[in-house]
């Protein structure tokens, strides 16, 4: 069974600090990695995707991928109360071009 593991949290971070969210995956053949943000009662919203080892930056968000360690992370700089949400890590299943597997999510709380 392919797995995507995340710490469920809650992760509490003071406003203005860096929030660091982590994710590990079990299938070494996975090639694409996604971070979704889900506010309570809303649908998941794609915020970042990364396919290559290293860092990818988009505004206050940085995704980091280390395929050797099977580890992907999301950094949120200058955290705002509006960043409080559940963050879902998702990884493609190599045997299926269409299937991505979601982690159970990390609940992030930014305290003012």
Partner 1 sequence: DTAVSQTPKYLVTQMGNDKSIKCEQNLGHDTMYWYKQDSKKFLKIMFSYNNKELIINETVPNRFSPKSPDKAHLNLHINSLELGDSAVYFCASSQVRGTSGVNEQFFGPGTRLTVL
Q: Which residues bind partner 1 (CB under 8 A)?
A: 30-32, 34, 38, 42-46, 49, 51, 86, 88, 92-94, 96-102, 104-105
Q: How far apart are CA 32 and CA 49, in angstroms?
A: 7
Closer to partner 1 by CB, 89 or 110: give it: 89
Helix, strand, coil content of the chain in percent (nearest 5): 5, 55, 45
Closer to partner 1 by CB, 15 or 52: give it: 52
Q: How far is the CB of 56 from partner 1 (least distance, A)?
A: 14
3-state secondary structure of 26: coil
Q: How far is the CB of 51 from partner 1 (least distance, A)?
A: 7
Instruction: Pull the structure tokens for residue 59.
Output: 């505004």
Q: How far is the CB of 16 from partner 1 (least distance, A)?
A: 27
Q: Find out whether the peptide bond into 10 is cis, omega within 30 degrees of 0.
A: yes
């Amino acid at each position: 069974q392919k797995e995507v593991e995340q710490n469920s949290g809650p992760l509490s971070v003071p406003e203005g600090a860096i929030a660091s969210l982590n994710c590990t995956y079990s299938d070494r053949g996975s090639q694409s990695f996604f971070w979704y943000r889900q506010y309570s009662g809303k649908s998941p919203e794609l915020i970042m995707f990364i396919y290559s080892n290293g860092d990818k930056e988009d505004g206050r968000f940085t995704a980091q991928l280390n395929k050797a360690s099977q580890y992907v992370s999301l950094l949120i700089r200058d955290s705002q109360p509006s960043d409080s949400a559940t963050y879902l890590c998702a990884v493609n299943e190599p045997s299926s071009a269409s299937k991505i597997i979601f982690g159970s999510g990390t609940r992030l709380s930014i305290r003012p």
